[in-house]
Structure 1
Amino acid sequence: MTLRRLYLSAALPALAFSLTPLAFAQVEITDARTTPIETLTANTDGTANDVTVTSTGSVTITSGAAITLNSDNTVSNAGTLTSEDADDTTGILISGTNTGSVTNSGTINMAATTPTDGLTASKDIISGSGRTGILISGASSFTGNIENTSTGSIIVRGQDSAGIRLASMSTLTGDLLQNGALSVFGERGVGVDVAGDIIGALAIGGSIRVTGEDSIGLKVSGDISEGLSATSSIASGAYVTSTGAIVTTRLSLAGRDLLHETGSVRQAGSAVQINGNINQGIHFGSLTVDDVVTSISSITMIGSAAAVLIDGEGTLIAIGRIAQITDSSHADYDASLQYAFVNQGTITANGLLDDINATTLSLTDTHLQDGINNEGTLRATIYRSGIATDATTSTPDAHARVIIIGDNAIAERINNAGTISAIGLEATDSIYVDRDSILAANTIRVTAISIEAGGSLSAINNTGIISATITGRKGEIIAIHDVSGTLTELTNSGAIIALAVNSDTLGGETTDFAITAIDVSANTTGFSLTQTAYTGTDTGRITTPSITGNIYLGSGDDSVNIAGGNINGDISFGDGADTLALSNSSTITGSISDTDGRLDIMITDNSHLDIQSSTDINITTLSVDATSTYSPYIDPTTGDTSTIIASGAVTFEDGATIAPILATVLSSATTSFTIAQAGTLNIDVAALNVERSAQTPFLYNTSFSRAANDANTLVLTLDVRSTQELGLDTPQTALFTSAFEALQDHVALGNAFVSITDQTSFNAAFNQLMPEFAGAARQFVIANVDGAVGAVGTHLNNARRSQDRTGGAWIEEFAYYADRSLAGISEQYRGHGFGITGGFDTAIGPFHTVGINLGFATTEIEDVLGVDEPFDVLTVQLGGYAGLQRGKLGIDLYAGVGYNDFEANRNVRIGDFDQSTRSDWSGTHYNASASAGYDISFGKYFVRPSATITYLNMHEKAYEETGTTGIELAIDARTIKSATASAILEFGGKFEKDRLWMAPSFRVGYRNEFINEGIITTGRFVNGTTPFTLVGQEFPTNGFILGITFAAGSQYSSFALDLDSDIRDGFTRHTARLVLRLLF
């Protein structure tokens, strides 16, 4: 019966009863009443009648039941039924063998006084006992529906109490419908307790919450002739704070400690507990009205009990199939309901506190006809503490398990189209509270599906997600674990994930994980794993399947058929005649082993088998078709190779690819490895050499041959490419020997490089090993100095135009951008800077201006080719200057010294390798310049030819990088010189009015850098012995200068805005300056 039909059928008896002529009008309670009432004597003359409490009515009692149905009548409550903190009281009692109905659309409140401090003297969360909202007493047989409607509320507070209870030995012929809000607070409470039998259905369309030690949300220990359905929330937990607040979310460390200190850590029973037979199954689904989902089931367990426990308690119970229509051609056939247990909502179990187990669904002594279908979410979560520094042993294991098929449980099959997730988390807030005293790791255990020794499950079909994950440092992760040996078939078109993540975000803590996706090693009869792509029935979207984690097979004849997607993990075959087949562009990345060597491997249809360990692989046959790839694993540090040892044939069709995987770089330039030994080797070695795969390590030339003494043995030879073959430029070539030594010394770095299969990626990776050698520091120190000196030049020009008021202070801001784009494949950079300089001057003797200046500039240089953080340069400049004017001839002189600070963070990010170094060094410089210009006036306009000579000598101290061992560089001190000669022709005008003037101009020029030596950088890797000498490409010598100026002033001040460009082949620098001069 569908959920909608169930709710409609529940309404029909009440409707029919209301249309039946009655001998007497029903008894209505419309105001407050303090005495109980029975249907048997409800009339004033003591005869039987229906009892209705209207919305304005109430019944308050101090003992017994507020309303007793003990005749063939109905009870309806739209008002309030309460007890005044009295034990053994009931809202509505059904007693005897009768026919009628019970409807609660109002409130039933069996209240109790809450302890002021959250706990009683005996550490209970509530006092009082024996309170029940609706009770069908023992040995009673009632015919009719019992419903707590959507507006109904049942509140029960007390120990050993219940919201709705069908007592043991009683029978309900009809439906029990809990559609309202129901809560029970107190030890050993039950929300809905079905201890008797229901000849009908049990439907939970409203909420149930129970709180208290050993409390259960929904308990069914009797039998149900139809089915159990739920479309709302059922929650169970026992954690209560000292203020009486129910704990439903994880507390802070202080909150958890307080909970332990007050003795409030007690465990509730299950949210749902089934101990009886249910003929038409268990359905946790959703309620749909007019094609709109109005509610969906949510089962929540806080604590160590199973969220859903199905347990015959020593006697096998049966849960029948939900669907009654099994003919797939029938119009009302529903494939999702062809199971005994269907979840389309959310079922979660959460330990919430540290070191508390969590279980979502547990089966014992039960048979689920046609198994389990999950289309929603099943999740179990635990939290794990650390081991205190003064502890001698670890805390007992905490285990998160989602599905347990336990002793004498027969589940038949599991279909998962939703999510099955087991999660283990370390309590990082307590473990890492003191980074100087990190708590040691406890073991975390997570299992998504567990088939125990006495359980039985024959098949799993997964189109969703089955995952077991840990965020911690030590643990056992298993997605699917069969100890029973009964699981024979697994079909995967979704994701099966076993995964562990280090809880230390800084990465300093070591980890110890056993990661298993599938363990069916107990199987002796044979196991079949099939993986295929899945096309969604609604979306039409193809999902790529995957398995992450190791796979352990048993001693039967096992078959692993991967016809799509990928497997990341080792596959261990046991004894038996086994097969491994890859097709449809599938990939397996991991090691392969077989205990008795009876394994046939077939790789077809553009598939890949990538071996990840250097252990020999004993098999019967291997065949690789023309479109596919086999990748043997080579460990140069040990010299071991994953050699195929086949008793039969090893066949590589023409066009097949062999792409070796190296753990790191080889210790010698040329090395040969045996990769296959076969009874018969079928391969065209010449064709294989010609068609060398682009998937092989780019660092090496790869060739193949048959062994000289055995034509059935295949040998692979790796030979380091020359720098020309690698496509390195001159500086890269100079570093190669030292860098290769670093690759050999650092296994992870070497692994990153041998994983590169193309030249572009190789060059990009190699550049990350190089120091700053291309003159970026030089050019941007020059830019900083030029910014300050250029400001002086602009200031002297303004001073020359305002000689009627000499002397004053000035300040300038300048900014620039430079781009070095054409410099081979390893010397490109770009950057920008900003600076401030200022000075004070006066007229002395023949000089119209003599002064000093102080400047500061900072630069950020971008690594165009790599992934380094910006290279920072800071320059402080102190100088002196003078301006001389003789008629039309003007001469400017400048000399200065400066201090430079350099800071670089070099990142090396190649594949999974992600490390960095830091360096900080300093240097000094001195510089000088002289320029002369001649003013040629044409009225308001002028032409000014000028010539300038500059010189810079910069020294950088030696430095060593700090950071990841193996990639740090030690760079020697270096001195860099530069001298330029420039010829400039400036065109402009000067316009004066009253005491103001302005002088716009533009200029063109040519610059020659006549001292322009290639920058020489020497050094070595800190852990290396081979030094290197890198000579940067000579900087472009000649270039054009373009600029504009707008200057203005008065007798008291002047300012100028300059924009200049230095344009050379492959290099451009733009500079902007704003100068402000104050006269006094």
Structure 2
Amino acid sequence: MIMTAPAIFVRKNIKRTSPLVFLTILYSTCSPLALGQEISSATSTPVETATLDNGSASDLTITDDGSIEWDSVDDQVAVTVNSSNNVTIDGDITLENSDNNVGVKINPNLSSTINLSGAINLIEDYARTDTDDDDDLDGLIAEGTNRHGIFLESGGINTGDIILQSGSSIYVEGNNSTAITLQSGLNGNYIQDGSISVYGANSTALDIQNDVNGNVRVSGGVTANGENASAISIAGDITGNLTLENTITSTGFTSTTSSNYIGPDDIDDDTAALEDRLDNDDLFNSASSVSIGGSIANGLLINGYHDYVDDGIAVDDDETKDTIDDYNENRGTGYISTYGSSPALQITPDLIIGSSSDLVLGSVVETVRDTLDDDEDEDTNEVLATFNFDQGLVNLGTIYADGQNVGFSATALEISGSADGNLNTIITNGILNSGTMSTTAFEANATTVNLGQGAIISSITNDGSIISNSTGSSGSNSIAIQISNGANLETIENTGYITAKITDDTGYSTAILDHSGTLTSIFNNGYISSYYVDDDSDDDEYDDNDNKISEFTGRSIAIDVSQHTASQGVTIVQGNTNSTSPSIYGDILFGAGNDTLDIQDGTVAGDTYFGSGTANFYLSDATYTGDVHFESEGFNFQSTQGQYFGNLNFYNNSGSAVFQNNSYFSGSLLDSDNIDLIIDTSTIYISQDSPITLNSLNITGASTLGVIISNSEHIDTPYITATNTAIVGDSVTLSSQFTNFVGGDFSRTILSAPSLDVDIDSISFDTSGLSWLYNAEYILDQEADGNQSISLQFSQKTSEDLGLDAQQDRTFASFIEMISNQQNAGSEFVKITDETTFLEAYESILPQHSDVALRHLDAHTNTLNSMVSERMALLRDSSNTSNGFWLQELVSQTTVDASENVNAYSGRGFGFTAGVDRRIGFIDSMGLTFSINDEKYETTTSAFNETSSTNFALGFYIAERIGFADLQMSAQIGQTNFKSEREVNFEGFNSDIEGDWSGLTQAYSTQISSPQKLGWLRVTPHIGASYISLNQDAYEETASNGFNLAFSESESNKLTGSAGVSLGVFWPSNSGRNSFDLSENQQSNSSLNGWHAAVDLGIRDTLSSTNYDAVANFVGYDSAFNVYSDEIFGQAFSTGISLVGIGDFASFRLSANAELSEGASIYSGAASLRFKF
């Protein structure tokens, strides 16, 4: 249904209105020339604006309830704009299964504004199906063709805006189709807050083929899916700006979440072949997501969040919009992405066929709209603020390219001139990246920024991220910024991240690559890095020292300007007063020009290669790790407060190398015969692996001349040989560091020269870096060839010098033999420079050498004897005996203090014993026992050294009353299973060592006691003797990284005698049976029911003992040594308390005991329960 509606024009913000204004409004409201037509219900009839009003021209509004829709009608247009009238679509246009259809067609040379707040859909019923039964959908993405949402025909200019309101959409399914096409020029603005999408081959969502005299703003999403499909194509000039601030994506793949790439570790026999993972019709390549072929007067802005900083200080938030970041809430964030091998953003004049003009992007002018309607005037397109940038391309959002599938390269941003070389692309004042540009590729190249032939860009300023990443095994390349032949880029200023990453054993990663020869300067106050990432594959190989062998045969390059000729020098400066720890990681390759690497702050890690021009290397208040190669005669090397780790290769060129003002150097000088080395108030360490030959040496001020000791083949060669003169100042200090273990006594010549100017008594030797294994002194020598030299004499310390105890001394010779052949361990051990650390490290190498197992066995035996004694006392007081079954639980704690040759250790034990006894013949009580005891003990040193054991034992005991005396005897035999764990840990070395072995235990004891009743007190003196022994089997430890030992069999035993007295009391219960019905005697009216408490005091002395003693050797080495305990078992004072509760059918006993001797203590507690049967 078409209805006529009045057009009402209201002037905004009128505070005073004259009568003339009211008359004007009234006239406009009533004039028939202003009448428009509405479609307020569904219709299938096409309309034309020229005849809309009964044959007359009229504006058109399709209301919320209105629509134009049909199905299967080819060659038809829903709305034809063929007069200078406006079209507003609040409803829908839906054209189904119809080819050669257009939603809104605009004839050229009219004045017409299109305003869409509804939806235009050109769709079809077609759906992909699985035609070959491979569980994968097949066929094209779309079936129909030539379908367009809004189409401005060629032939002139349309005056007016094209506006897609927020919430609007254009959705097109069809090949060779578009959501919006502008073939004629547009004298107005293109404003898109809604979304547009196309699905089909050779289709484009937004296709601008002519000039736009205004701004182009894409604030809504844009999607293109299909072979050679593109999200945005601009083949005309724009007099305003181009702003992209939403998600814009294109792909030819049928999925952007699944990939046919599988990592090597995830491939097995069941993995499908590459060609079977995805069908060919799933892997079509799209065109670029955004292609620009025309000039843009006010530049290209990929919008996003502004982080405004004023003079290095972030501006505080306030409610006043007076800085650029205050308008972030009015901005969208641009995200341009493509999945496939086409660039995400491509800028080239070749997009315009037959173009004769350079493509120029002028400086960006950002216009910020009132998207939140802050002034509540319902106009969200009015401009709130304008901001000017210097650069012609500004990225505050994201530009991302993902190859996604095997063999598809990835390029985020590509800028080039015409292929024939006649036209250039000029980016005024260069590129500003404050957002993210990144690429990902699999088995293919990843290039994030590619400047091709004809790209003229003065600079790239990066305070965001430019990242490339390639993964595979086919030798692919990963390049963050590439400047190709014929391009022109003079300067790169980086305060963000420029990173190239490669996960490919044979690939190259390069952060900055210049083949053009135009790059003259790089200023880095951020991070420039190129690195290889190991894929951690299962086929990794390791050397004899368990070091992983790198499989990387490619190269990681931070900056490559090696193609520069003699006239194309480059200056690289890192750091300034405002920088914060910047870094360059990767090699730096210079060309043939006069080049400078000036490192003023932060770190640089990688090798630097200067070419045939003059080479300048400056290091000040920064750290460099790697080698520097000076291939030309003209060079300058100067370090001021710099830290340099690596080699300097001078290729026999002449010149000087200067370290001054607290600089530090560790490495070597190669091919340096013509070099004058000047060291002033600095430290230099030279490796023995690469002796240095110099023309002259001048070391003065408070400098340190250090040498790195190793088992090098050059041990007889001086570290430094000066063929001319050597001057060593009075304040110079000699020093040494060790990287390899060197056994015995030895000497090293530090410096040799025919003319050596030194006062040997005025220099000194710094022992702080000297390995604790050695003593050292320096001497001045006259060599056989006439040269003078300074030598260091090293002597290995004795056990006494090292402060070793007896056991450590017994092990020392075997340890030296072993560690001399352990490269990794030896290299780390000799780095120890102080006594405390040395002894802690050395002690961690040794096993436990104590008799703690005997101490725990003794405690269990004593507890059993104490319980049997209590049993005998009860038998003596009872008129009858009874059979019994009993259970006992024991806990113990042992602590031994450190002594001269014994480390402190502590242990804890837990035991469970079951027994049964009865009267047999004249013997009052005869019993059998079975016990399980578990112990764990460890040294209390810093080294982790723990041993645990589990003992299973059978026992026998008898108890007999003989007149006034009680006699008891017991015997036990059992097997003990041991497990040891210790950790050898020092400096950068670690080895976890375990041992498992068994042993046989025996325990025998006898005791005679004589209980005497003194009123309510029972006094029981007693004497006894016990013998315990432990025979341990031979065993061999296992280790994660060496230092494991093999042990022989060993035997240890102890014979003790004891004497003491027990004092006990008894409280009878009120009746023959107490309330909990426990009894030691079945007879009723027993006088024993009640409580018995006793205190025992005694002394025990060791009559003889054989300490633990085994022969050990490091596994794989012949030198043996004895491991034995130096513990002394002397006299000990013992005490204990017990409480027994007795009832008619059962009794229980609680006891606590302590045995205290000099430097040792054993505490134990037991609980037992006895049942009569």
Same fold (TM over 0.5): yes
**Which string of whole-angstrom CA distances, capped at 9 and with x for unpartnered residues, describes residues 546-571 of structure 1?**
33443334333333444445344333
Partners of 1:207 and 1:25 lie apart in 2 by 34
Which position in structure 2 is the counterpart of 1:732? 808
What TM-score does the superposition give when structure 2 sets the normalisation length? 0.76
Correspondence 1:177-256 to 2 at 5 A: 177-240=191-254, 247=258
Does 2:930 match 1:854?
yes
Partners of 2:50 and 2:275 lie apart in 1 by 53
Given candidates 387, 402, 411, the residue that maps to 2:448 is 402
**Which string of whole-angstrom CA distances, capped at 9 and with x for unpartnered residues, describes residues 1002-1060 of structure 1?**
66665555555554443222233433334444357455556555544533333444444
Does 2:401 match 1:349?
yes
Task: Note closer, same or farther for the CA distance 1:537–1:581 as it changes in structure 2 (3 Å cut).
Answer: closer
Partners of 2:169 and 2:214 lie apart in 1 by 23
Partners of 1:707 and 1:220 lie apart in 2 by 82
Between 222-231 and 254-263, report the one with greater CA deviation: 254-263
Which position in structure 1 is the counterpart of 2:958? 882
Which position in structure 2 is the counterpart of 1:84? 96
Percent identity of the aligned residues? Answer: 24
Q: Is the contact between residue 854 and residue 1029 of structure 2 (CA under 8 Å) also seen in structure 1? A: no
Task: Note closer, same or farther for the CA distance 1:285–1:294 as it changes in structure 2 (3 Å cut).
Answer: closer
What is the CA-CA distance between 1:47 and the residue it aligns to? 0.9
Given candidates 413, 424, 428, the residue that maps to 1:361 is 413
What is the CA-CA distance between 1:747 and the residue it aligns to? 2.2
Which position in structure 2 is the counterpart of 1:260? 277
Between 733-742 and 1033-1042, report the one with greater CA deviation: 1033-1042
What is the CA-CA distance between 1:861 and the residue it aligns to? 4.5
Q: Is the contact between residue 657 and residue 688 of structure 1 (CA under 8 Å) also seen in structure 2? A: yes
Which position in structure 2 is the counterpart of 1:559? 616
Unmatched tracts of structure 1, length 5 or more = 1-11, 326-331, 384-396, 427-440
Q: Is the contact between residue 194 and residue 219 of structure 1 (CA under 8 Å) also seen in structure 2? A: yes
Which position in structure 1 is the counterpart of 2:587? none
Partners of 2:1009 and 2:332 lie apart in 1 by 88
Does 2:550 match 1:532?
no
Task: Note closer, same or farther for the CA distance 1:209–1:333 as it changes in structure 2 (3 Å cut).
Answer: closer
SS in 2 for 1:822: coil
Which position in structure 2 is the counterpart of 1:298? 335
**Which string of whole-angstrom CA distances, capped at 9 and with x for unpartnered residues, describes residues 971-1014 of structure 1?**
33333334455566666654443244445566666555555555
Task: Note closer, same or farther for the CA distance 1:786–1:683 as it changes in structure 2 (3 Å cut).
Answer: same
Between 522-531 and 201-210, report the one with greater CA deviation: 522-531
Task: Note closer, same or farther for the CA distance 1:650–1:762 as it changes in structure 2 (3 Å cut).
Answer: farther
Partners of 1:452 and 1:37 lie apart in 2 by 53
Which position in structure 1 is the counterpart of 2:312? none
**Which string of whole-angstrom CA distances, capped at 9 and with x for unpartnered residues, describes residues 842-901 of structure 1?**
333455443333333444455654665854433323322334455775554332222233
SS in 2 for 1:881: strand
Which position in structure 1 is the counterpart of 2:675? 620
Does 2:440 match 1:381?
yes
Task: Note closer, same or farther for the CA distance 1:257–1:598 as it changes in structure 2 (3 Å cut).
Answer: same
SS in 2 for 1:198: coil
Task: Note closer, same or farther for the CA distance 1:299–1:573 as it changes in structure 2 (3 Å cut).
Answer: farther
Task: Note closer, same or farther for the CA distance 1:911–1:991 as it changes in structure 2 (3 Å cut).
Answer: same
Correspondence 1:1024-1039 to 2 at 5 A: 1024-1034=1117-1127, 1037=1130
Correspondence 1:414-493 to 2 at 5 A: 414-425=460-471, 443=475, 445-470=477-502, 475-493=507-525
**Which string of whole-angstrom CA distances, capped at 9 and with x for unpartnered residues, describes residues 562-607 of structure 1?**
44453443333442533444445x5333333234545654444544
**Which string of whole-angstrom CA distances, capped at 9 and with x for unpartnered residues, describes residues 113-133 of structure 1?**
353436899742332233333
Partners of 2:724 and 2:1132 lie apart in 1 by 72
Equivalent position amino acid for 1:208 in 2: V
What is the CA-CA distance between 1:84 and the residue it aligns to? 0.4
Q: Is the contact between residue 392 and residue 427 of structure 2 (CA under 8 Å) also seen in structure 1? A: yes
Partners of 1:952 and 1:462 lie apart in 2 by 78
Task: Note closer, same or farther for the CA distance 1:658–1:134 as it changes in structure 2 (3 Å cut).
Answer: farther
What is the CA-CA distance between 1:217 and the residue it aligns to? 3.4
What is the CA-CA distance between 1:1069 and the residue it aligns to? 4.8
SS in 1 for 2:1053: strand
Correspondence 1:936-951 to 2 at 5 A: 949-951=1025-1027
Does 2:538 match 1:503?
no
Which position in structure 1 is the counterpart of 2:1002? 926
Given candidates 839, 844, 849, the residue that maps to 1:774 is 849
Partners of 2:936 and 2:254 lie apart in 1 by 57
Task: Note closer, same or farther for the CA distance 1:246–1:690 as it changes in structure 2 (3 Å cut).
Answer: closer
SS in 2 for 1:590: strand
Partners of 2:661 and 2:817 lie apart in 1 by 40
Equivalent position amino acid for 1:151 in 2: G
Equivalent position amino acid for 2:635 in 1: D
Q: Is the contact between residue 115 and residue 165 of structure 2 (CA under 8 Å) also seen in structure 1? A: yes
Partners of 1:671 and 1:656 lie apart in 2 by 20
SS in 1 for 2:34: coil
**Which string of whole-angstrom CA distances, capped at 9 and with x for unpartnered residues, describes residues 323-379 of structure 1?**
699xxxxxx9989x5434443334443344455544433443344444344333333
Correspondence 1:829-844 to 2 at 5 A: 829-844=905-920
Does 2:632 match 1:575?
yes
Q: Is the contact between residue 93 and residue 103 of structure 2 (CA under 8 Å) also seen in structure 1? A: yes
Partners of 1:668 and 1:967 lie apart in 2 by 21
Which position in structure 1 is the counterpart of 2:643? 587
Q: Is the contact between residue 496 and residue 548 of structure 1 (CA under 8 Å) also seen in structure 2? A: no
Q: Is the contact between residue 798 and residue 1047 of structure 1 (CA under 8 Å) also seen in structure 2? A: no
Task: Note closer, same or farther for the CA distance 1:898–1:376 as it changes in structure 2 (3 Å cut).
Answer: farther
Does 2:295 match 1:283?
no
What is the CA-CA distance between 1:83 and the residue it aligns to? 1.9
Which position in structure 2 is the counterpart of 1:691? 766
Correspondence 1:953-992 to 2 at 5 A: 953-964=1029-1040, 966-981=1042-1057, 989-992=1065-1068
Which position in structure 2 is the counterpart of 1:1023? 1116
Partners of 1:628 and 1:301 lie apart in 2 by 53
Task: Note closer, same or farther for the CA distance 1:528–1:166 as it changes in structure 2 (3 Å cut).
Answer: same
Q: Is the contact between residue 622 and residue 649 of structure 1 (CA under 8 Å) also seen in structure 2? A: no
Partners of 2:289 and 2:754 lie apart in 1 by 61
**Which string of whole-angstrom CA distances, capped at 9 and with x for unpartnered residues, describes residues 679-705 of structure 1?**
99787765553334x345444456666
What TM-score does the superposition give when structure 1 sets the normalisation length? 0.82
SS in 2 for 1:86: coil
Q: Is the contact between residue 620 and residue 647 of structure 1 (CA under 8 Å) also seen in structure 2? A: no
Q: Is the contact between residue 765 and residue 778 of structure 2 (CA under 8 Å) also seen in structure 1? A: no
Does 2:459 match 1:413?
yes
Task: Note closer, same or farther for the CA distance 1:841–1:747 as it changes in structure 2 (3 Å cut).
Answer: same
What is the CA-CA distance between 1:295 and the residue it aligns to? 4.8
Q: Is the contact between residue 171 and residue 196 of structure 1 (CA under 8 Å) also seen in structure 2? A: yes
Which position in structure 2 is the counterpart of 1:664? 740
Correspondence 1:96-175 to 2 at 5 A: 96-117=108-129, 123-167=139-183, 170-175=184-189
Equivalent position amino acid for 1:262 in 2: D
Which position in structure 2 is the counterpart of 1:639? 714
What is the CA-CA distance between 1:626 and the residue it aligns to? 2.9
Given candidates 856, 860, 866, the residue that maps to 1:783 is 856
What is the CA-CA distance between 1:96 and the residue it aligns to? 1.0
Q: Is the contact between residue 614 and residue 642 of structure 1 (CA under 8 Å) also seen in structure 2? A: no
**Which string of whole-angstrom CA distances, capped at 9 and with x for unpartnered residues, describes residues 489-523 of structure 1?**
44444444444454337794342224444444444
Task: Note closer, same or farther for the CA distance 1:986–1:342 as it changes in structure 2 (3 Å cut).
Answer: farther
Query: What count of residue pairs does the alignment treat as equivalent?
Result: 1018
Correspondence 1:706-721 to 2 at 5 A: 708-709=782-783, 719-721=795-797
What is the CA-CA distance between 1:779 and the residue it aligns to? 1.5
Which position in structure 2 is the counterpart of 1:6? none
Alignment RMSD: 4.6
Task: Note closer, same or farther for the CA distance 1:729–1:883 as it changes in structure 2 (3 Å cut).
Answer: same
What is the CA-CA distance between 1:283 and the residue it aligns to? 3.2
Task: Note closer, same or farther for the CA distance 1:796–1:703 as it changes in structure 2 (3 Å cut).
Answer: same
What is the CA-CA distance between 1:259 and the residue it aligns to? 6.5
